[in-house]
């Protein structure tokens, strides 16, 4: 069925590689099957779209074919497949006998590769894991280390990931005879067609343990809970993702582990707001301070307090700047700035004396 990969990722057709990557990480985290409310079907769609759009050659081909491009074409296009040649081959026996055709070879010619040439790729590595962590603005400023227990599929220590009971041999799979694939021949109205699929017994390995491991039951992995330490760097922004390579789930039969993606959520601060590496603070002062000035006002900053000076005659909306009093820059030197926006507070209740003084002030100013 035709798919619009840009629509699946929610990006424009002229989106940059970074925008595509960011959209993918967000959706992969949202639909991850291991997460509550996850959606395995949508997760696979998002991964399929990203595999195409993150590859320059595949993306160019996809853009050429438009929305009629199918995911299978991402493997390299039609590769010079000659359909008329296919028909000549199919009629090679004459009459209505179309002969036997290997659909893997046919579609391999059309889409730049068949099912042969290597072992199955579905289980080459373990599944990625997505988690969320929440930190304060101060922790985002200083950096923080978080330790948590993570339950995931990990390599079986008993069999070291082989799936075989220690001391027992690993034999050739009797189903696929070591090829990793099974061949099925079907007779149809066009003739006899042969298809190949990954062997269900050995999962494409071509080998199986003679005696399965008693702990992992031949999978080479089993669920474990392990403590993981996450280092959150200083200056990280809300929504950014930290990748821990190899900290996802282990692959079958000792294959490489997937990765762990941690999305960082920075909690709102009581006094400060953030824009990039800069911080903003709203300061309320009295009419007297605005008119006469005040050089003794103390305000909170991200790493302590600072004394500022209000000049006489300061208007509401005036913005003061404290150089390098903002957030630390991620993986860089220096800090952002802090901006103080002045808000002049007008008194709502006045005593008789205060009113008289203000009336005198008004006459004086007039």
> Of the given ranges (84-93, 186-195, 235-244), which has the lowest mean pLDDT?
84-93
Classify 95 as helix, strand or coil: coil
Q: Which CATH architecture has domain 124-164+214-267?
A: Sandwich (2.60)
φ/ψ of 144, rounded to 5, equals -155, 155
* Residue-wise burial string across 85-114, b where 16 or more C-beta atoms lie within 10 A, e elsewhere: eeeeebeeeeeeebeebbebebbbbbbbeb
- The CA–CA distances, whole Å, from 63 to 15, 40, 261, 282 equal 12, 26, 29, 48
Residues 221-247 have a mean pLDDT of: 93
Greater confidence (99 vs 201) lies with 201
Phi-psi region of 360 (alpha: psi -120 to 50; beta: other; left: phi over 0): alpha
pTM of the predicted structure, to 2 decimals: 0.60
Which percentage of the chain shows pLDDT scores above 90? 42
Give me the helices (H) in 242-330, please: 287-292
Q: What is the pLDDT of residues 57-73, one digit of tens each?
A: 788 877 765 544 444 44
Fold of 273-365: HSP40/DNAj peptide-binding domain (2.60.260)
For residue 93, pLDDT over 60 is answered with no
- Determine the distance from the C-alpha atom of residue 32 to the mean position of all C-alpha atoms in its chain, rounded to a whole number: 10
Q: Mean pLDDT of all residues in the chain?
A: 81
Greater confidence (32 vs 276) lies with 276
Give domain limits for the chain. Answer: 124-164+214-267, 273-365
Q: Pick from 111, 53, 109: which is nearest to 84 by CA?
A: 109
Report CA Rg, the chain.
33
For residue 113, pLDDT over 90 is answered with no
Instruction: Give residue 141's pLDDT band: very low, low, confident or very high (50, 70, 90).
Output: very high
Classify 270 as helix, strand or coil: coil
For residue 189, give every residue at least 6 positions away whose Cβ sits within 8 Å of its Cβ, in sequence order, or none: none
Residues 336-361 have a mean pLDDT of: 89
Q: Pick from 192, 173, 221: which is nearest to 89 by CA?
A: 192
- Residue 322 has a pLDDT of 96
φ/ψ of 218, rounded to 5, equals 85, 5
Distance CA 47, CA 311 (A): 57
Greater confidence (111 vs 317) lies with 317
Distance CA 181, CA 115 (A): 9
Which percentage of the chain shows pLDDT scores above 70? 80
Task: Tell me which H or E stretch contains 21.
Answer: helix 17-31
Greater confidence (206 vs 2) lies with 206
The answer to whether the 124-164+214-267 and 273-365 domains have the same CATH topology is yes
Cα–Cα–Cα angle for 312, 318, 323, nearest 5°?
Answer: 100
Instruction: Give residue 84's pLDDT band: very low, low, confident or very high (50, 70, 90).
Output: very low
- Residue 60 has a pLDDT of 80
Distance CA 10, CA 29 (A): 14
Is the distance from CB of 264 to CB of 231 less than 8 angstroms?
Answer: no
For residue 122, pLDDT over 70 is answered with no
Residues 104-124 have a mean pLDDT of: 43
Q: What is the pLDDT of residues 260-300, one digit of tens each?
A: 999 999 999 999 999 999 999 999 999 999 999 999 999 99
């Amino acid at each position: 069925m035709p798919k619009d990969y840009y629509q699946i990722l929610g990006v424009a057709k002229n989106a940059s590689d970074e925008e595509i990557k960011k959209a993918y990480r967000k959706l992969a985290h949202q639909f991850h099957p291991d997460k509550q409310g996850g959606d395995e079907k949508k997760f696979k769609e998002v991964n399929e779209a990203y595999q195409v759009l993150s590859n320059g050659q595949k993306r160019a081909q996809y853009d050429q074919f438009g929305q009629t491009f199918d995911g299978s074409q991402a493997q390299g296009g039609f590769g010079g497949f000659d359909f008329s040649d296919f028909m000549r081959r199919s009629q090679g026996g004459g009459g209505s006998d179309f002969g036997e055709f290997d659909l893997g070879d046919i579609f391999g010619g059309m889409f730049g590769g068949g099912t042969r040439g290597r072992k199955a790729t579905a289980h080459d590595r373990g599944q990625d894991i997505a988690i969320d962590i929440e930190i304060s603005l101060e922790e985002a400023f200083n950096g923080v280390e978080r330790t948590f227990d993570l339950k995931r599929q990990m390599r079986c220590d008993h069999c070291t990931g082989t799936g075989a009971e220690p001391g027992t041999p690993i034999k050739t799979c009797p189903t696929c005879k070591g090829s990793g694939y099974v061949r099925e021949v079907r007779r149809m109205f066009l003739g006899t067609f042969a298809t190949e699929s990954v062997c269900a017994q050995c999962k494409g390995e071509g080998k199986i343990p003679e005696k399965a491991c008693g702990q992992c039951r031949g999978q080479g992995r089993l669920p474990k809970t392990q403590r993981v330490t996450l280092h959150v760097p200083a200056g990280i922004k809300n929504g950014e993702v930290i990748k821990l390579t190899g900290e996802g789930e282990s692959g079958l039969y000792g294959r490489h582990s997937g990765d762990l993606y941690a999305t960082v959520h920075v909690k709102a601060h009581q006094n400060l707001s953030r824009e990039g590496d800069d911080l903003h603070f709203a300061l309320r002062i009295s009419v007297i301070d605005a008119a006469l000035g005040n050089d003794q006002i103390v305000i909170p900053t991200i790493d302590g307090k600072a004394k500022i000076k209000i000049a006489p005659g300061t208007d509401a909306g005036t913005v003061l700047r404290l150089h390098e009093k903002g957030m630390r820059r991620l993986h860089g030197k220096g800090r952002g700035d802090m901006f103080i926006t002045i808000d002049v507070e007008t008194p709502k209740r006045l005593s008789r004396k205060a009113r008289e003084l203000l009336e005198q002030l008004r006459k004086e100013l007039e």
